[in-house]
Each structure stands twice: as structure tokens, then as C-alpha cells.
A and B are shown apart, each in its own frame.
Chain A
Amino acid sequence: QQQVRQSPQSLTVWEGETAILNCSYEDSTFDYFPWYHQFPGESPALLIAIRPVSNKKEDGRFTIFFNKREKKFSLHIADSQPGDSATYFCAAHNNAGAKLTFGGGTRLTVRP
């Protein structure tokens, strides 16, 4: 059962454009939604996160938009840079299960 779905699998944008990565979930008990990025040869690292009490979270060029009713959230990367090229994972946390459930990942390529 895939509880967190992520799209697209692969995304290419030009430098300076806004990259948009999407996720949806099924379990209403999820209470924390982070985004991780992973560079080749490295482990996932926390980028930005949001809780359902908010519908938007910003941190520099990175913004999460959250829609609780539709069970969807997205990551917008403004003014994309070649250094942003990585695999991005959305995730959802359930306190009852004490675990993060990850989406399938989006491989982002930013062309100069």
C-alpha cells in the first residue's frame, strides 16, 4: 500500500525557473510533512517541513503549499539553481507508528 504518492518521477527546469514537486497522502492521521533532498552518494537531509495547522511554509527559495482537505502538498523551488539538482523526497509522519513514510522521489535537474 503506497501511502504517500509523489510526482513527477523526473523533472527538468532551466536555471531561474520555479520547480514544482507534488505529493499526496491517504492517512488522515499523518501530522508532519517534511521534504528531504538527497545528493548522489549522500543520505537524505531535511530541507523544509510543515504541519497541518499551516497551509504554507517558506524558507528562502523553498515553499511548501499544503491542502489538508485534498490531502496534497507541494514543494516550490523558486529561482532554481544547478546546485539544486538532486532527488527530492516528500514524507509523512505518523506519531502512532513513529516512522516516516516516503514518497517515491523526484529527480530534479536544473539546466544552466
Chain B
Amino acid sequence: ETAVFQTPNYHVTQVGNEVSFNCKQTLGHDTMYWYKQDSKKLLKIMFSYNNKQLIVNETVPRRFSPQSSDKAHLNLRIKSVEPEDSAVYLCASSSWTGPNSDYTFGSGTRLLVI
């Protein structure tokens, strides 16, 4: 099956803890993204990587750090989570030179910070 796979689906943690989310795509894409979707459904890009290189780094608190081992993987680490980090984190991938229509989202990781 070719798709964007995210783990875990759901994570509950306490303020101040560190969390890591994983994302893997088997679509052969070379660009991957992390988006945050808040409780109001707003979708905001956080990072994008092309062939393991950071391309986009929006204004995101420094406790967020992406990690890419190869073009098929893009993980997200959050050091010392805050209550406002509660959201759904969506990973996506696309081809840098391919049709824009190949932009594909994973199923998301829902984070609840208590």
C-alpha cells in the first residue's frame, strides 16, 4: 500500500514532557511537510523538507524540531510540551517537480496535553 503513514494516532501527555511523532511515506515523493490543525480546524504549515533539506520553517516555537533521516521519513519532536500544543499534527508529502495534485496527507496524530 502506498500512502503517508503516521504514528501514533493519539497521544496524551503532561505539560513539560517530550513527545515524538513519526511519519513515513511510500509514495516515492521527495518533499514532506508537517501541518498543525488546531481546535478551530485552522491548518498551518510548520515545516517542509525536500530530500532531507529543510525548505520551509514557519514561525514555530523552538521546542518543535523536525528530523529527517531520508526523503521518505520526517519525524517531529516537541520538547517540553505546552497546553497550546494540543492539536492534530498532519504529515503530508508531494513531489517537488511533480503535479501539485499528488499532495497527500497522513491520517494525523492527535495530541492532548494535560
Using a CB–CB distance below 8 Å, which chain A residues touch chain B?
Answer: 32, 34, 38, 42-46, 49, 87, 89, 93, 97-102, 104-105, 107
Number of A-B contacts (CB under 8 A): 49
Chain A: minimal CB distance from B96 (Å): 6
Tally of chain B residues near chain A (CB < 8 A): 22
How far apart sit A101 and B33, CA to CA, in the bound complex (Å)?
12
Return 25 A-B CB contacts under 8 Å, by A number: A32-B100, A34-B103, A44-B105, A45-B105, A46-B101, A46-B103, A49-B100, A49-B101, A87-B41, A89-B43, A97-B55, A97-B56, A98-B48, A98-B50, A98-B96, A99-B45, A99-B48, A100-B45, A100-B103, A102-B43, A104-B40, A104-B42, A105-B41, A105-B43, A107-B41
Note all chain A residues with C-beta closer than 8 A to B75.
none
Chain B: minimal CB distance from A71 (Å): 18
How far apart sit A88 and B23, CA to CA, in the bound complex (Å)?
24
Note all chain B residues with C-beta closer than 8 A to A49.
100-101
Given contacts A34-B101, A49-B101, contact A43 B106 (CB under 8 A): yes
